[in-house]
A and B are shown apart, each in its own frame.
Chain A
Amino acid sequence: MSTIKGLDSWAVDLAEVGAVYPFQGTEVAMVIIGVVLWIGWHIWQIKSENAEIEEDLHMADKRKKAIEEIDRY
């Protein structure tokens, strides 16, 4: 029994073989999982960026730091 449906040995004629990846038949589920992970990444990233910006905005001596950074170029 193999995770690649129908491929228990390479005693095959390659002219008659198509897709050979594991868990064939679950492509739609895999795409859904992939899309959920992608959207989840954006949600996490925006939240994380918001928190970082918020923290930077509350930095002490903001004006002095800005002048230093402008001078640093």
Chain B
Amino acid sequence: MGNNLEALTTIFTEFYYWVTVVMMFLIHVGFCMYEVGASRRRNHMHTLMKNTMLIPLVTITFFFFGWWIYWAFPHGPWIDGGKGLDFAAGAANAPWADTMGTNLGDHITGVFWAAFLLFSWTAASIVSGSVIERIRSGAFWILAVLIGSVAWIIDAAWGWHWDGWMVHILGYHDAYASGVIHAIAGGFALGVLVVLGPRLGKFAADGTPRDIPPHNPWLVTIGLFLIYTGFWGFYAACNVPIISPEVIDGQITGVTWTATNIYLAPTTLSAITFNFLMSLSGGLLMGYMVSKGDSFWTYSGGLAGIITASAGNDLYHPIQAMIIGGVGTFCAYKLHFWVERKFKIDDAVGAVAVHGYAGFIGVCIAGFVLWGVPSSPYEGYAAINPLGQFLGAIIMFGVLGFLPGYVCARILNGVGLLRVPKDIELLGLDIKGDEDYQRAVNDVRDAEKAILNG
């Protein structure tokens, strides 16, 4: 750090990302609460552990190779101008680099890595909810590593990096991750669900879907509220908080410092605060309306509203964000039940709809509303356009989401690792733990009564 202003900027940036990481932890708390709330009593512990243990597994694998992928893969490799892997950028972010540890010359890598890591948890956690009550933990944790430390971070390198080939060639714009987190995770979940199949009893003999209500709707809604709260950290983490035009080194002239999105194009925290709240409101109003006041879908509608508007929430007007949030929520809700009926897909928490369909639609809408807006502050980048956004949405949802999820689930299914046996599903995945618990309770009761009776 050359002078005190530079030092202050660096420490501010370090602290800024650190705070976003703490806030984003609440997303995971929320996911755990709403999954447990949505599951039935005989599956609680399995559901909780399934989601909790993705934390260490995705964390260590993201340290070992996920972070390196982000820096090495922005050009494809070999998609953008024949450029291969970026070994130079990757080297500073490989697990053996001296910047990947205590380093007084680098205050940023650790907190930036952690902010991305929390996105990785979110991607895996989105999948977790849709597959509850029948997937084997071992299978899910392999899938979690695949989406959390490989698939999503490739899409981030491609479409959520200032030098990503999708930004350069397609003009792809997805500032708050409608596609790069939500569409990919929703597509991945759908790929797994196609192979995994529905929970026993979900569909009647004639194919009519049955509602499997959450055992605790209050826990579900509080969980979703916590996800909203953590989402503030997610949004802030998508920005670079302060940067000078000289450091951006693009086309911006003058000396005015600014906050930017991940593509280093200017925005403000104020802009995303307006748009976060207005798209949340558009989603909640539409969710309440379309579901006729169902609490789960009203809350999910709020989330879908934010997710739909996220691609362009750095630039939208707040009323545009509100309307886009409402449109995405309507489509996600209708698509969820249509896909359920038509293809017999049992998405236990509506994750494919709320994240996948809303994210896909949001990326596409941004192509029209932001048509012609520069995607990058650098010269030679395509402007934002509908075709680039549509192709981007397909890459996120289909190529990097659905496909790896489907293929990996097929392999796991082929070796008998994907789904618990039918008898276990009926007994409940917690059967052993529940019996041990009851035995312990009975032992203690008997002991205390014996003491009471002398």
Cα distance A33–B315 in the bound complex, in angstroms: 19
State how many angstroms separate the Cβ of A72 from the closest Cβ of chain B: 16
A37 and B317 alpha carbons, distance in the complex (Å): 16
Given contacts A4-B315, A22-B370, contact A14 B377 (CB under 8 A): no
**How near does chain B come to A36, taking the closest CB pair, in angstroms?**
11
Asked if B4 CB lies within 8 Å of chain A CBs, one says: no
Whether B374 lies near A3 (C-beta < 8 A) is no
Chain B residues positioned under 8 Å from A10 (CB to CB): 250-252, 265-266, 374, 376-377
Contacts of A34 in B (CB 8 A): 319, 322-323
The answer to whether the Cβ of B295 comes within 8 Å of any Cβ in the partner chain is no
Query: Are the CB atoms of A33 and B371 closer together than 8 Å?
Result: no
Instruction: In the complex, identify which listed stretch (B82-90, B228-236, B253-261) lies at the interface while the others stay far away.
Output: B253-261
Q: A10-B377, A15-B256 are in contact. Are A30 and B266 (CB under 8 A)?
A: no
Which B residue sits closest to A30, measured CB to CB?
Answer: B319
A41 to B283 CA separation, bound complex (whole angstroms): 13
Closest B residue by C-beta to A14: B256
Once bound together, how far apart are the Cα atoms of A13 and B257, in whole Å? 10
Q: Which of A13, A22, A44 contacts B316 (CB 8 A)?
A: A22
Within 8 A of B (CB), among A2-40: 2-4, 7-17, 20-23, 27, 30-31, 33-34, 37
**Counting CB contacts under 8 A, is B184 at the interface?**
no
- Would you call A15 and B319 a contact (CB within 8 A)? no
Q: Assess A2 versus B372: contact at CB under 8 Å? Given A10-B250, A10-B265, A14-B258.
A: yes
Contact with A along B297-317 (1 / 0, CB 8 A): 000000000000000000111
Determine how close the nearest CB of chain B comes to the CB of A1; give it in whole angstroms: 5
In the bound complex, residues from chain A placing their C-beta under 8 Å from that of B250 are: 10
Is A48 on the interface with B (CB-CB < 8 A)?
yes
- The verdict on A13 contacting B292 (CB below 8 Å), with A4-B373, A31-B319, A33-B323 known, is no
Interface size grouping (class) on chain A: 20 to 34
Beta-carbon nearest neighbor of B366 in chain A: A22
> In whole angstroms, how far apart are the Cα atoms of A27 and B318 in the complex?
10
B320–A3 contact, CB under 8 A?
A: no
CB of B236 to closest CB in A, whole Å: 19
Q: Say if the beta carbon of B27 comes within 8 Å of chain A.
A: no
Q: Which A residues touch B293, using CB under 8 A?
A: 48
Contact present for A8 and B374 (CB under 8 Å): yes
- Most chain A CB within 10 A, of B285, B319, B372, is at B319
Given contacts A13-B256, A41-B289, A44-B289, contact A2 B377 (CB under 8 A): no
Say yes or no for B383: interface residue by CB 8 A criterion: yes
Q: Which of A14, A17, A23 has the most CB of B within 10 A?
A: A14
Q: How far is the CA of A3 from the CA of B173 in the complex (A)?
A: 14
B403 CB to closest chain A CB (Å) equals 33
**Contact yes or no, A3 B373, CB < 8 A:** yes
> Given the known A-B contacts A21-B317, A33-B319, A41-B289, are A11 and B253 also in contact in the complex, defined by CB atoms under 8 Å?
yes
B251 near A48 (CB under 8 angstroms)? no
Would you give 22 A-B contacts (Cβ < 8 Å), ordered by A? A2-B371, A3-B370, A4-B315, A4-B372, A4-B373, A7-B373, A8-B372, A8-B383, A10-B250, A10-B266, A11-B251, A11-B252, A12-B254, A14-B252, A21-B315, A21-B317, A22-B317, A22-B320, A22-B373, A33-B319, A37-B322, A48-B293
12 more A-B residue pairs beyond the given contacts A2-B383, A21-B317, A27-B317, with a C-beta to C-beta distance below 8 A = A2-B373, A8-B383, A9-B374, A10-B250, A13-B253, A14-B252, A15-B254, A23-B320, A30-B317, A31-B319, A34-B322, A37-B322
B residues near A (Cβ < 8 Å) are: 245, 250-256, 258, 265-266, 285, 288-289, 292-293, 315-317, 319-320, 322-323, 326, 369-374, 376-377, 379, 383
